[in-house]
């Protein structure tokens, strides 16, 4: 696909009420995620700027805009940092950017580092699900005895590739309801 020219981004500020949502935005947020998003603004301030076009249309940051605007302590007149594109994105560019930012160009978790360097209670509080952490040793007991090792048996696994987190959770819940032992992984 040919772009309509290069894009330069500049920093600015806007009130949340000035930002225009994209009706086709495929991203969504669950209630508990929205709570963590609000908590992160309370604790750390605005870490990431909201990406917008020259006419204030949001390219990245819908969930931040919606959550913060809905909270009494911030509200629609709250000013946020934005990154403004020098030209409007085409619809195809916008679609591609959303996918790249949230699916195509981000890293995954190194669960070995999480298991060895982080506390499981913190990870659960900060947004991980227990199912994501199953199978990783977060325990303090480094002296597992041989009887535990004898309980390890051959495993048969199926990898299901999902389009997004919502689909992953839906499939995970469906399989758990049917009695399958499952865990969700993000790569």
Domain boundary among the residues 70, 104, 138 is at 104
Residue 139, pLDDT score: 59
Q: Is residue 186 part of a domain?
A: no
Residue 148, pLDDT score: 42
97 vs 177: CA distance, rounded Å: 35
CA-nearest of 7, 96, 105, 13 to 50 is 13
Which residues, including other chains, have CB under 8 Å from residue 63's CB and lie 6 or more apart?
27, 28, 29, 33, 34, 37
20 and 92 housed in the same domain? yes
Beta strands per DSSP E along the chain: 9-15, 50-52, 58-60, 79-85
132 and 79 housed in the same domain? no
Cβ count within 10 A of residue 82: 24
- pLDDT one-digit tens code per residue, 26-69: 888 888 888 888 999 999 999 999 999 999 999 999 999 999 99
Domain boundary among the residues 104, 139, 159 is at 104
For each successive 10 residues of the chain (187 residues), what is the average pLDDT?
A: 77 97 86 89 93 96 91 92 96 88 69 80 81 66 45 63 82 81 73
Q: For the chain, report the end-to-end CA distance as a whole number of angstroms.
A: 27
Q: Is residue 153 part of a domain?
A: yes
Residue 61, pLDDT score: 92
Q: Is residue 92 part of a domain?
A: yes
Q: What is the pTM of this model?
A: 0.63
Residue range of the domain that includes 158: 111-177
Q: Work out how many domains the chain is built from and give that number.
A: 2
Which residues, including other chains, have CB under 8 Å from residue 99's CB and lie 6 or more apart?
none
Residue 155, pLDDT score: 59
């Amino acid at each position: 696909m040919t772009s309509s020219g290069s894009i330069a981004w500049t920093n600015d500020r806007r009130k949340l009420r000035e930002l225009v949502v994209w009706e086709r935005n495929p991203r969504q947020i669950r209630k508990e995620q929205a709570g963590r998003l609000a908590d992160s603004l309370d604790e750390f301030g605005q870490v990431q700027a909201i990406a917008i076009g020259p006419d204030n249309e949001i390219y990245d940051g819908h969930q931040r805009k919606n959550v913060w605007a809905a909270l009494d302590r911030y509200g629609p007149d709250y000013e946020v940092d934005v990154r403004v594109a020098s030209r409007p994105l085409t619809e195809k560019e916008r679609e591609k950017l959303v996918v790249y930012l949230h699916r195509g160009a981000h890293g995954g978790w190194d669960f070995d580092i999480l298991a060895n360097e982080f506390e499981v209670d913190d990870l659960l509080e900060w947004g991980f699900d227990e199912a994501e952490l199953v199978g990783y040793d977060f325990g303090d007991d480094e002296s597992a005895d041989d009887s535990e090792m004898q309980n390890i048996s051959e495993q048969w696994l199926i990898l299901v590739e999902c389009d997004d987190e919502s689909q992953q959770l839906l499939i995970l819940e469906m399989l758990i309801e049917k009695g399958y032992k499952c865990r969700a992984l993000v790569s």
